[in-house]
Structure 1
Amino acid sequence: MTDTGFALPDDTARALYLAILRDGGRIRIADVVEEDAQTVQTLMDLGLLKPYVLDGSLSAVDPRSVTARIGADLRAAGTRLLTRAEELPDVFGDLTVAYDAASRRRDRSGSTRVVEGMENIRHQVSQLSEELRHEALCAHPGGARPVDAADDTVNHARRFLETGGSIRTLYQSAARLDASTVRLAARLTGIGCHIRVAAFSFPKMLIFDRTVAVVAAAPGVTSAAVIDDPAVVDFLVRTFELHWQDAEGVNWASLASGSSEPSVPEQVGRLLARGLTQRAIATRLGLGERTVAAHIARLRDQYDAETLFQLGWQMRGAHDA
């Protein structure tokens, strides 16, 4: 069946139509065997067979005429569907107004609402995820990440990224020691997500389109605060950005494949030896410039270099040796 209800000929119907053509383009109704009755009816419904009552026969019809008729019907149906699509905002208008009036959005000047229980928290996060349009910022402290719904996580992220959205996630360094987390991170970064790790502690938070944030409301994971106060959300965004700049990029695909990943200072040194600037190195490795600067400072002490040019020259010699 097509989207508009037309039953297009399957292989059986096509084979019967071709057989009728080979027999001269006509078949007597009385000669139709029981097992072909439904197939004959399909061809008649399409218009590929035309009945003649007077002599009790069915004649094959030129497919071009059928194509023209069905094409016109499909175009008309498409126009009707487009019209219905344009009417959808009005059809759902009262429901949208009611949803906006719900408790989560009762005070648009800024509010904080506490959600209790993991099931309610998951429901709230799911709603916010469905409404997400532009950007998700995620900070997940701790080590290993839950991967029981890895496929759903990747598929949801893929659909969002395909609409032009962006996802940045912050893990703690211990996350790259867990094989399941590494495999999940490799899949997510492979489709366009950005995931960094931080050696320091940070609060758990989810920020949706820089307008709504979900943070822990108490120790543990059974209470969360949903915040849409612009000033508070802006503070949380700035906090996330500061942590993001200080975090380090990880070659998740390399870790997932079991390859040994060069240490971050080694990667910085190699790029510095190739003549890249501090900013270019930060961009290439997905690091904050302050993190790169700290690595370079340690490398200068290690190589007793007074300038970046001297450090780059010495490291180039070390790599060429």
Structure 2
Amino acid sequence: MADHELEHRREQFERLAAPLFEEIAQRGGVAVTDPLVTSAPEATTLLLDAGLLRLDNERYAAVDPNTVQAQVIAPLSSQGARLISESSAWSQIYSTLGQTYRRSPSTQIGQVTELHGDEIDHFLASVVPSAQSELLTAQPQTGHSNTQQRIASDRDVAALKRGVTMRTIYQHAARRNRATRAYVAEVTSQGAEVRTLDEFFNRLIVVDREVALIPSGDNLSVALVIRDRGLIAYLVDMFERSWERGRPFTSRDTSVIQSIAEEQRAMTIRLLIEGHSDATCAKRLGVSPRTYAAYVADLKREYDAETRFQLGYLLGQDAAHQDHGA
């Protein structure tokens, strides 16, 4: 029976047959000539076919559903198992073809492909599950939703369980995000490594060092898929340099936590001295504008400055004295 036919039959059963069954059960059975059943021949037939009614001396009696459910559920379970097996087989076929595609020297769409909007998520949903050995990701804190984080978690955990190694870099600010902390706890429990940096960086995903995904400029709704081995080697080298400077996300060492706070403070000061807008500073720190405003307020209190201009001047003087002293 086709899926849509099964769904239609179930909906009919819930709408027509289930209420009739409840009424017959409450009455302790009804005569075959009772208007309750004669006025609802379709529902009565559904109950008889499902084994939930039996004919007993010209009366319909209700049958315990627990004794007959197996005759309906078992075939569906068997069909579901076959579909899961078939789905897994097709997934393996596409995964193998995907690896062949990525290893090919060129494709019809070239070594760099532009993706737009939903195409980005669809690409990730197809390429990450096909990873065979390694996933490298650099993820600036951009406020992913809980749903997006859950999808990423399921996808990445599945890859880790296949034996894929995974390293991820976030900005320090990601440590304050509850959804990110939950994601990190889950993937690190499966063997992933996660570190954080103070500086701003763009998103990067590298799969098996054969295909990479990067943003196209400042437009986050456009991404570039790169298959050129030379470009990928360059991106991996950048990742490795950042990785070496990163701090372990899961570290509870007091000195590490203190160093992270100092690095964020130093970066805030540097951005203020350079005169960037608040929006730019917040983005480069990986925090919300409100959180960035709180950082600035703390510095104003520390330097006893009443205005942002005065704070910038005092910070600049302090930096100049330090340089002179060095």
TM-score (norm 2): 0.51
Aligned partner of 2:151 in structure 1 is: 156
Structure 1: which 5+ runs fail to align? 255-260, 269-321
Query: Which residue of structure 1 lines up, in the alignment, with residue 59 of structure 2?
Result: 58
Deviations 1:48-80 (A, max 9, x none): 32458xx8x43326548962xx63455445555
Aligned length: 238
Distance 2:88 2:257 in 1: 54
- The alignment status of 1:264 with 2:245, answered yes or no, reads no
Local SS of the residue matching 1:215: strand
Corresponding residue SS for 2:116: helix
**Kept in 2: contact 1:48–1:66 (CA 8 A):** no
| Pick aligned residue for 2:218 from 220, 240, 243 | 220
Task: Calculate the TM-score normalised by the size of structure 1.
Answer: 0.52
Q: What is aligned with 1:45?
A: 49
Q: Residues 46, 66 of structure 1: CA spacing in aligned structure 2 closer, same or farther, 3 A cutoff?
A: farther
Q: Partner of 1:16 in structure 2?
A: 23
For residues 130 and 92 of structure 1, the distance between their equivalents in structure 2, rounded to whole angstroms, comes to: 10
Higher share of residues assigned helix: 2
Q: Please, which runs of 5 or more residues in structure 2 have no aligned partner?
A: 261-326
2:123 to 115, 120, 127: 127
Aligned to 1:186: 181
With over 3 angstroms needed to count, the CA separation of the structure-2 counterparts of 1:130 and 1:152, relative to structure 1, is: farther
Amino acid at match of 1:43: L
- Retained in 1: the 8 A contact 2:213–2:226? yes
Amino acid of the structure 2 residue aligned with 1:19? Q
Please report how far the alpha carbon of residue 146 of structure 1 lies from its aligned counterpart in structure 2 after TM superposition.
Answer: 2.6
**Equivalent residue letter for 2:170:** Y
Deviations 1:255-295 (A, max 9, x none): xxxxxx94417699xxxxxxxxxxxxxxxxxxxxxxxxxxx
What are the Cα deviations for residues 23-72 of structure 1, in whole angstroms up to 9, with x where unaligned? Answer: xx5524234279987765543332332458xx8x43326548962xx634
Give the fraction of aligned pairs with identical amino acids, expressed as a percent: 17
- Give the conservation status (yes or no) of the 8 Å contact 2:52–2:62: yes
CA distance in 2, matches of 1:213, 1:90: 26
Distance of 1:18 and 1:114 partners within structure 2: 67
Post-superposition CA distance 1:177-210 (Å, at most 9, x none) = 9x6xx34422422433654222356564221344
Distance across 2 between alignment mates of 1:65 and 1:262: 59
What are the equivalent positions in structure 2 for 1:227-242 lying under 5 Å apart?
227-230=226-229, 232-242=231-241
Give RMSD over aligned pairs.
Answer: 5.1
Query: CA separation in 1, counterparts of 2:88 and 2:258?
Result: 56
Give 3-state SS (helix, strand or coil) of 1:29's partner.
coil
| Cross-structure match for 2:169 | 170
